[in-house]
Amino acid sequence: MAHHGHEPVPGAAAESVSAGYELADIPSLRPIWIFVIGIFGLLIFAYLVGVVLVTIPGTQVRDTSQAVDVNSPQAPPGPRIEADPNVDGERIVREATERLESYGWVNQRQGIAHVPIERAMQLLLDQGVRPFEE
């Protein structure tokens, strides 16, 4: 015969019946606390082992085959970091400005030249090219 409602089931504890659920199903927290404390203990142990290994006197890196000699006059292959970005930037802007504001050959055999921007715009207007198409 099935039991319905809140009528007590034989074998159920009175505390479980009054709470509305089986209190014995809740696991003990003791194993969880042991696990958490064990994990933290292992972390502390691993940290201490690392500190000891790093601070042992007389240990150092022995393989220097890939080390760069800082006193070597030979520069590493490019691209390299700019020594002074302001100076390099100013040089780049100056060279670009000189090219944009001067006449010169791009390909002399094919008759291709570059002209200053202002002159190029004037030539386009003189040839009837409208700057803004509608």
Residue 4: predicted pLDDT? 57
Q: What are 56-88's pLDDT values in tens digits?
A: 876 665 666 666 666 777 777 777 777 777 777
Bridge partners (DSSP) listed for residue 105: 113
Residue 60: predicted pLDDT? 65
Cβ-based burial of 27 (10 A; exposed 0-12, middle 13-18, buried ≥19): exposed
pTM of the complete model:
0.33
Exposure string over 50-82, b if 16+ CB within 10 A, otherwise e: eeeeeeeeeeeeeeeeeeeeeeeeeeeeeeeee
pLDDT band at 26 (very low <50, low <70, confident <90, very high): low
pLDDT band at 9 (very low <50, low <70, confident <90, very high): low
Residue 45: predicted pLDDT? 97
Bridge partners (DSSP) listed for residue 30: none
Angstrom CA distances, 72 to 53, 67, 76, stand at 33, 12, 10
